[in-house]
């Protein structure tokens, strides 16, 4: 799996899979608003925060590689 494919899986598909699993097994997510809240929590927690942390580590520890890839 390429780096791009891995990042797409981790930061886009994984939060949706985890949110879907949480909605299926949690009895308190019966309303549409609660389901949306669960999806957004997983998206913000994993996709946004995780992507920011991963980008920080890449720019901080692999700055030469990132600078070369940017141009």
pLDDT bucket at 37, cuts 50 / 70 / 90: very high
The pLDDT value recorded for residue 41 is 93
Q: How much is the pTM?
A: 0.72
**24-42: average pLDDT:** 92
pLDDT bucket at 1, cuts 50 / 70 / 90: low
Cβ contact 68:36 at 8 Å: no
Cβ contact 48:14 at 8 Å: no
Share of the chain above pLDDT 70, in %: 99
**8-30: average pLDDT:** 89
Q: Which residues contact 58 (CB under 8 A, 6 or more apart)?
A: 65, 66
């Amino acid at each position: 799996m390429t780096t791009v494919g891995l990042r797409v899986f981790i930061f886009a598909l994984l939060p949706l899979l985890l949110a879907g699993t949480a909605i299926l097994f949690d009895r308190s997510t019966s309303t549409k608003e609660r389901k949306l809240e669960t999806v957004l929590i997983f998206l913000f927690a994993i996709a946004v925060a995780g992507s920011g942390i991963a980008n920080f580590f890449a720019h901080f520890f692999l700055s030469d590689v990132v600078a070369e890839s940017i141009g």
